[in-house]
Structure 1
C-alpha cells in the first residue's frame, strides 16, 4: 500500500455526522479536504458520468453517504447499492488512488432488512470491480453503533437516558459493540494515508454491551442520578419504531430495530492494529468531552418538537373548522359587528380567516417549512390582535383570557420555529 503524504481528499456524505468527524481529523493532519453535502454530490441523483467530473483531481475518496430509511427518491437501494456502485466505477475511471467505503457491521446479502441487503450489494460490487485492489486501493469499514456528540443515534439514546425511568429494550441478545466516532475518524484518516489494514474490517469498541448498559452510561455522562428501568415489550417497541419511522425523520425505525435485535459484535483486534492502540472504551471516550448544560437541555427537548408542532397545528385546524360553522355563525357575526364589520365584508373576514387558519394548521401538521408557517401564524395573530383591540374591554378582562392567551401561544410558536429551523 502506497503511503500518501498530503492528499486531496473528497468525502461523499461529508456533511453527515461521521463525515464531519473524518473531515476534521484529516484537516488537522494537513490534508486538503472537500466534505461534500448531498447538494454537491447525491448518489441517488448523480450518474457515473456526473460523478467522474466531480471526482476529478482527487487522490482519495471516502464514501460516508448512507440512509436508515427511504426518503422519496433517496431510497436505501438508490444510495447504498446503485449510487455507491456508480461511485466505485467513477473512481476507477478517473484514477483515484484510494477509496474508503463506510458500510456497516452485520451487512448480509440475504439479510432481513433492506438496509443490510443494499449495503451488501455495494460491498460485493466493489470487490468484483477490483478484487485485489491493483487499480484502486480500496477498504471497507464496517462500524457497529457509532457514539459521539451530535450523532443521530446518540441524540436519540441521550433523549431516552434523561427520562425519569429508563426504557429497557430487548434482552441480552441485543448486544452490540459501540465505537466512539473519534476512533472511527482516526482509523479512516490512517487508512487514507496508507496505514496497513485488511480489505474489510469491523470498526468496533473493546466492550460488548446491551442498550441498558449504554443508556445508564450516557445518563451518568450527562451528570444525572441513576434511574430505574422499565421493560418495553419487543412487539410494542417494533410498533412504535414502525410508526416513528413514518412520521419522523429520526434514526429509529423498523429496519434499525430488527438490525439491533440480531446482535452486533465482533473481534476488535483488527481495529487495534489499524489504530496502533486499543480502541477506547465508550466511558473513557466520553470523559474526554464532558457533557454540559446544553447537552442535558438538548436531550430533554428531543421529543418535544413534534409534540409542539402537532399541538399548534391541531389548534389552527380546530379554529378553522369552528369558524366554518361548528361554532354558531350568528355569534361569530355578532362578534364582527362589535368591531364594525358587516355584510359581505363580514362573510369574507369569517370564512377567509377560517380558510387561512385551516391551511396553516394542515401545513404545520404536514411539516411543510414549519418556520415559515410559524411566521405566518404570528402574522395572522398580530393582525387579529390589532383588530381585536376595538372589542369591548370584557374580552380582555375575562377570567378565561380569550385574547390574552395569544401571548403564550405566540411564545410557543417562537419556540417551535427555533426547534424546527
Structure 2
C-alpha cells in the first residue's frame, strides 16, 4: 500500500520508513528539508511538507492515493525553527481533517511515553492536546507513545547520552537517579508496521517501553562499557550549573543551534520517562531490553569517535568564534599600529597598509558572526580556510621572514586552519 510518513528523515521516521519499504510498501516521505533526504533515502518518493504550515488543502493534494499516514514529526521546545503548538496541535488538527477529506484509511500518530496533565511543560501539554483532538476525530487512528528511543544512529537525547558516556575520565550527570524506560528504534518501527495492517487495533493509545526502568547512571554506565571504555566515576552536577547550561543552550537555539541540553530536555530528564510495558502485547510486540539493544548493535570505532567528539565539537566552535572575533577586534584597536607596521616594513604604502588591516579585521569579525549563526556556519568555516590560505600565501610573499619568527605568527595559523577543517567535518547534526 502507499503510506505517507511525515518527518521521514528524522530519527524515528527514518527507521519507520526503512521498515515499511522492506515490507514492500510504497512510502511517500514528507518533510521540510529534502535535499539531503533524497540522497540518503532514494527509495522514498519525497515531497516537501511542513506540519506547522501546511493547510488542509495542501495535505489533501499531497495525500492523493495514500492509504495510511504515519506522523513522526515533533519538536521538543519552541525556537525560531520550531513552534510546539503549530506542530503538535494545529498541525495535527489540520492533518486529521485532511486525512478524513482524502479518504485515508488510518492515521498512526507518534506521541511520547509519560505525557499527562501532571507534567506542566509545553512539550507535554501540546502532546496531550494532540492526543485529545485525535480521540475526538472520526478517523481510524492509533497513538503510539514510545519511551526513550535508542537507535544505532545517534541523534538528540540518545546522542547526548553517548557523549556523556564518552566524556574523558568522569561521567557528569544531572538528575542521575531519574528513571527511564527505553525502546529500540527498530522495535518501534516494527510496531508501526503492525499498525498499518488491516487487522490492527484502532482508536487506541499504546505505550511502547521495556519493563526495566533504568536510572541515568545505569544508562550512561552501560553505554560506556558498550563503547569499550573503562568505567568512570559519576560526578553529580549541581542543578544550578545544569540550569545555566540549559539557559545558554536555549539562547543558542535562537541562533539555529538545537542542542539536546535545553531547558525542556532538562525538565524531561527530571521527570523521567515511564510507561506501561504491557501495552506492547496488544500489537504482539516484545520490546527488547536496553542490554539486548546494545548486544544486537556492537559498537565500533565510529561510535567511540562520535562519543569522544560530542563535547569537543561545541568547544572547537567556541574556540574558533573567540579566535576570529578577538583577532578582528585586536586588529582594529590595540594591535592596529603593529599590524600596519608589519606591512609598511615590507615596503607597502602606509595608507594602503592601514586599509588592508581594517579590511582583514572586519573580515575576521564577520566570519566569527557568521559562525555563530547556524545556517551560515559551514560557509563561515569555509571562509576561514580560504582567508587563512590567503594569509599564509600573502605572508610568504610580503614577509617571508615571519616563517622563522619565534612567536610563529604564520605557523600558528596552520593548526587554526585544521581546527576549522575539523569543525566543518563535525558540523552535521544527523
Q: Same fold (TM over 0.5)?
A: yes
Q: Tell me which residue corresponds to 1:3.
A: none
Question: d(CA) in 1 for partners of 2:130 and 2:2?
Answer: 24
Q: Which residue of 16, 35, 41 maps to 2:49? A: 41
Q: Deviations over 1:306-332 (max 9, x none)?
A: 221221121111111111121151x33
Instruction: Say whether the 8 Å CA contact 2:147–2:274 is kept in structure 1.
Output: yes
1:107 matched to 2:115: yes
Q: In structure 2, do the counterparts of structure 1 residues 339 and 387 end up closer, same or farther at CA, with 3 Å as the change threshold?
A: farther
Asked if the contact 1:201–1:270 (Cα under 8 Å) also holds between the matched residues in 2, the reply is: yes
* Aligned with residue 337 of structure 1, among 344, 358, 366: 344
Give the equivalent residue in structure 2 for 1:209. 214
Equivalent residue pairs, number: 407
CA distance in 2, matches of 1:249, 1:193: 36
Encode CA deviations 1:106-154: one digit per residue, 9 max, x unaligned: 2235631100011111111111122xxxxx2100011111111223221
- CA distance in structure 2 between the aligned counterparts of 1:143 and 1:376, rounded to whole angstroms: 43
- Contact between 2:71 and 2:109, CA under 8 Å: does it hold in 1? yes
Work out whether residues 60 and 98 of structure 1, in 8 Å CA contact, stay in contact via their aligned partners in 2. yes
How far apart are residue 391 of structure 1 and its match?
4.2
Give 3-state SS (helix, strand or coil) of 1:326's partner. Answer: coil
> 1:384 aligns to what SS in structure 2?
helix
- CA RMSD in angstroms, aligned pairs only: 1.8
Q: Residue 16 of structure 1: CA displacement? A: 0.2
**How far apart are residue 215 of structure 1 and its match?**
0.8
1:265 corresponding residue in structure 2: 274
1:146 aligns with 2:149: yes
Q: TM-score, normalised by structure 1?
A: 0.92
Q: Distance in 1 between matches of 2:417 and 2:81?
A: 36
Structure 1 unmatched runs, 5+ = 1-6, 131-135
Matches within 5 A, 1:62-73: 62-72=70-80
Query: How does 1:270-419 map onto structure 2 within 5 Å?
Result: 270-274=279-283, 276-329=284-337, 331-419=338-426
TM-score (structure 2 length as normaliser): 0.90
Q: Deviations over 1:262-312 (max 9, x none)?
A: 2332221120331x2421111112211111000110111111222212211
Contact preservation (8 Å) 1:81, 1:118: yes
How do residues 84-123 of structure 1 correspond to structure 2 at under 5 angstroms? 84-109=92-117, 111-123=119-131
Larger Rg: 1
Q: 1:205-244 residue pairs with structure 2 within 5 A?
A: 205-244=210-249
User: Runs of 4 or more off by more than 4 Å in structure 1?
Assistant: none
Equivalences for residues 144-223 of structure 1 within 5 A: 144-150=147-153, 151-163=155-167, 164-170=169-175, 172=177, 174-197=178-201, 199-223=204-228
2-structure distance, mates of 1:373, 1:263: 39
Aligned to 1:133: none
Give the Cα separation in 2 of the matches to 1:321 and 1:167. Answer: 35
The equivalent residue for 2:9 is: 15
CA contact (8 A) 1:180 1:205 kept: no
Query: Which one is further off, 251-260 or 86-95?
Result: 251-260
2 CA distance for matches of 1:169 and 1:332? 47
Report if aligned partners of 1:20, 1:35 keep a CA contact under 8 Å in 2. Answer: no
Q: Point out where structure 2 has 5 or more consecutive residues left out of the alignment.
A: 34-47
Q: CA deviation at 1:236?
A: 2.9
Equivalent residues of 1:109, 1:120 under 8 A apart:
yes
Q: Partner residue of 2:45?
A: none
Q: Which of the numbers 250, 265, 268 marks the counterpart of 2:259?
A: 250
Mapped partners of 1:46, 1:300: distance in 2? 40
- C-alpha deviation, 1:233, in angstroms: 2.8
Cα distance change of structure 1 residues 387 and 277 upon mapping to structure 2, 3 Å threshold: closer
